[in-house]
Structure 1
Amino acid sequence: MKTGRPLWWVAGLSLCLLVAVGLVTWVAVDDQPYVAPTPAASTGGSPSPALATEALRSFERAVRSGDEDAARALAPADDAAAADRLAGIVANARAARVRDFTLRYVDAEGAYADGTWQAAADATWQFEGFDRAPAHAEVLVGLRDDGGRVAITGFGGGDRVSPLWLSGPLEVRRTPRTLVLVDGSAAEAREYALRARTAVPVVRRVLPDWRRGLVVEVPASEDDLDRALDADPGTYDQIAAVTTSEDGQLTPDAPVHVFVNPDVFGGLRPTGAQVVMSHEAAHVATGAFVSPMPLWILEGFADYVALRDVDLPVAKSASQIIAEVRKDGAPRALPSADDFGTRTPDLGATYESAWLANRLLAQRGGEAALVRFYRAVDRGTPVGPALRAEFGLGVPAFTQQWRTLLQDLAG
């Protein structure tokens, strides 16, 4: 059964401040993982659920025991690539410390003339030390009739979540506070691991009680990111990174990770890349994935955290909103949810304006007051009462102060 993932919500958490060509700019922000084959359907006999169940149980045992040779033996006898893929998954699990891994056969999805077929399987897994509870998702398994048994060719594809660690061999980097999984080179893995390690203290300077840690997953391409998150093609084509649950669930204890679009992230300069990673880490630390708060607070606060100690003048870090104000005047109201849509024109200016709103609150009442305000709204306190409690003014008065700031910056 396909897991629902509300793209409007994911997109609301996904756009990050990107720094490129020396300026701060807002953007709506070949080793392919296995994709199950789709040859012509067979008119022959039905696949064997019993043999498929046996194969899945054997693979589950191989992952749990860390036995790469046992995993290789489950691939078709003449498919070395599948054997490498399955052994790589076991290596991923060992390096990332996957726990509570289970696979349960659900149903056949289709049998084909070449002897391959797909099955849906319920999978659970958990990254030890990082995830509060196991992920749970229905995944597709590629299978093949192979001399009286059913062999496994790979995982993922179709209209299901495709967990990155089940896609094949990855570069895995783990510290006590960060876990990074990269479908790429060792050099790329080192770079992403550095960004993740740096983001943790950046966030803790503002949120010192965050202790859970950060998981970052980097597919090989934008298309692979769409597949990993069961998103429509092109959903993340302008997005550098997204913070969302690994299995598409919308529960407070869902495993929430940062997923990177390497096609966008890879084009950033070092400062911009770090700001993106720190922004997403702030979302992880605050549980932003399930927060009902207005996006101008949620996104603006994450940028406040990420940009707090970055040495850039406001004229550069807010260049797009400044240009918009010079052209059309200051916005009449704080940004709405619609203003944060992934296809909204001038989205960069929207994010900059939200950052400036949060920065203004911190300047007015102090960083501790901004954090208390954020947490109060996150718990359900309406914005007006929360503003009055921490800063002594209501929404209209604050909006006017914010508009005045924008006008002053625009000169």
Structure 2
Amino acid sequence: MITTTGRPLRGGRLALVLVIVVVAAVGVPLWLVHHHDQYVVPSTRQHPSAAPTEQPAAAASALARLQQAIADRDAGAVGGTLLPAVVGNAAKLGITDVTARYVAADSGADGAVAADGSWTADVALTWRWAGDPASAAEEVLTRFAPSASGVAVTGFSGDDGHRVPLWLTGPLTVRRTADVTVAVAGAHSGAEADRYRTLATRAVATVRRVVPWPRPHLVLEVPSDESMLEQMMGAAQGSYHGVAAVTTSVDGSASGPVHVFVNPQVIGGLNSQGAQIVLSHEATHDATGVASNTTLPEWLLEGFADYVALRDVDLPLSTTAGQILAEVRKDGPPQHLPGPAEFDAQAEDFGAEYEAAWLACRLLAQRGGEQHLVRLYDEVKAGAAVGKTMRREFGFGVAAFTRDWQRQLQRWAG
């Protein structure tokens, strides 16, 4: 139906309307006359509301508020349930040098803005724990969402390629001494934190009996489970299955501060002596500064750490080297000292290789004395050739030593 306002249409104006009616019949939008000489096109459908979009400026403001709250140690300045815990963790750990810069929405599927307006973005973060010699730097996946104040930070996460610092994941229980810092996931993990503090303190003492460590600063980070450990390491799921602990830089760089990252699902299943051996091994790596060292051959790197950890442990070889000796009984001794392929964490005989490397270092100490073993380790760590250094310290090279080690493995295997 065509309607008009004012007086009835006459003459040419009626003709115009009739033409429009005809055209409208084939699907072109129908014009309505609102007054004598004005025609408008009505909307044929409802316009949807604008889709939510990323809000970089508001996100940057939210990060600035969090950064200031951490600097002021003011948990009340941030809302939600996670951020007050983050501020509290920073206070417990003496965290300083915190900066947080919005980079961009994450390019993955999680980076898309959801219907509720939330999105995930990369945030360039720096921070330094009390006692660390340098700051850590990492791009952390950060979740943002609309809030009463505009936009709020609602969470942090890690994935295969992005690390997430433990202190950003939820409340921690912290224990600190002059030489040790322990951070355990969970607000009510006091007994567990006490246990790790004791283990870490003993580990420092164990290492100092063998190598100089004038100013120990051993830091243990203990997540809630293996999955969280993998997020902290920016690793794929399953990468740390069966790994008790790893000593590495906090941000994966060669210059970042070094901490010990614990897999609670593995260490939690060990008795006190087993857990102590693991942490003394990791403390040796920390004390000798080898978290990112690529000079030391794997058998010397890992074997020396086990030598230090097991030096004063009174256990039979059937316990400390049971896996490698069983393999020797079955297949004979290995053809060479264990290397990168053998120390693959996914290898079936992963544990046996550590035992084989430990027995190699133990044999060197028996052949030439502990100080010669320590000098070999130090010089090769500094870049010296292992064969040349071994001949100078022990009077034989790698090939001759390998044959000696193989013979001893057969003898120990019975």
Question: If the length of structure 1 is used for normalisation, what is the TM-score?
Answer: 0.84
Letter in 2 for 1:92: N
CA contact (8 A) 1:244 1:289 kept: yes
Deviation at 1:314, TM superposition (A): 2.2
Partner-residue secondary structure (3-state), 1:371: helix
CA distance in 2, matches of 1:125, 1:156: 16
CA distance in 1, matches of 2:278, 2:78: 37
Partner-residue secondary structure (3-state), 2:99: strand
CA contact (8 A) 2:52 2:116 kept: no
The structure showing larger relative contact order (alpha-carbon pairs under 8 Å, at least 6 residues apart) is: 1
Question: Greater CA deviation, 217-226 or 397-406?
Answer: 397-406
CA contact (8 A) 2:166 2:221 kept: yes
CA distance in 2, matches of 1:348, 1:48: 50
- Matched with 1:120 is 122
Among 193, 200, 204, the residue aligned to 2:204: 200
CA distance in 1, matches of 2:150, 2:282: 45
Pairwise mapping of residues 25-40 of structure 1 onto structure 2 (< 5 A)? none
CA distance in 2, matches of 1:212, 1:136: 23
Among 242, 245, 251, the residue aligned to 2:249: 245
User: Are 2:399 and 1:396 aligned?
Assistant: yes
CA contact (8 A) 1:111 1:117 kept: yes
Partner-residue secondary structure (3-state), 2:153: strand
Partner-residue secondary structure (3-state), 2:335: coil
**Pair 1:301–1:43, CA change in 2 (3 A):** farther
- Matched with 1:360 is 363
User: Are 2:79 and 1:90 aligned?
Assistant: no
Pairwise mapping of residues 157-168 of structure 1 onto structure 2 (< 5 A)? 157-158=158-159, 159-168=161-170
Among 46, 60, 68, the residue aligned to 1:61: 68
Deviation at 1:336, TM superposition (A): 2.0
Could you tell me which runs of 5 or more consecutive residues in structure 2 were left unpaired when the two chains were aligned.
1-48, 107-111
Among 279, 289, 292, the residue aligned to 1:290: 292
Letter in 1 for 2:97: D
- Matched with 2:157 is 156
- Matched with 1:22 is none
The ranges of structure 1 where at least 4 consecutive aligned residues each deviate by more than 3 angstroms after the TM superposition are none
- Matched with 1:227 is 231
CA distance in 1, matches of 2:223, 2:281: 19
CA contact (8 A) 1:360 1:402 kept: yes
Deviation at 1:210, TM superposition (A): 4.5
Could you tell me which runs of 5 or more consecutive residues in structure 1 were left unpaired when the two chains were aligned.
1-41, 73-82
- Matched with 2:32 is none
Deviation at 1:148, TM superposition (A): 5.5
- Matched with 2:137 is 136
**Pair 1:190–1:43, CA change in 2 (3 A):** farther
Deviation at 1:194, TM superposition (A): 1.2
**Pair 1:69–1:360, CA change in 2 (3 A):** same
Per-residue Cα deviation, 1:135-190 (whole angstroms, up to 9, x for no partner) = 00001221111246111212224552110001111111111111111013211111
CA distance in 2, matches of 1:246, 1:172: 17
Letter in 1 for 2:382: R
Deviation at 1:99, TM superposition (A): 1.2
Letter in 2 for 1:401: D
- Matched with 1:327 is 330
Pairwise mapping of residues 251-330 of structure 1 onto structure 2 (< 5 A)? 251=254, 253-292=255-294, 293-330=296-333
Letter in 1 for 2:182: V
Letter in 1 for 2:195: E
Partner-residue secondary structure (3-state), 1:121: strand
CA distance in 2, matches of 1:135, 1:212: 19
Partner-residue secondary structure (3-state), 2:141: strand
Letter in 2 for 1:262: P
Letter in 2 for 1:341: D
Deviation at 1:345, TM superposition (A): 2.5
Partner-residue secondary structure (3-state), 1:340: coil
Per-residue Cα deviation, 1:305-363 (whole angstroms, up to 9, x for no partner) = 10011111223211112111111112222112111111222222211110010011111
User: Are 2:189 and 1:182 aligned?
Assistant: no
Residue-pair matches, total: 357
**Pair 1:90–1:148, CA change in 2 (3 A):** closer
Report which of the two structures shows the higher radius of gyration computed on alpha carbons.
2
User: What is the RMSD computed on CA atoms of the aligned residues?
Assistant: 1.5
Question: If the length of structure 2 is used for normalisation, what is the TM-score?
Answer: 0.83
CA contact (8 A) 2:102 2:124 kept: yes
CA contact (8 A) 1:315 1:409 kept: no
CA contact (8 A) 1:43 1:113 kept: no
CA distance in 2, matches of 1:148, 1:201: 51
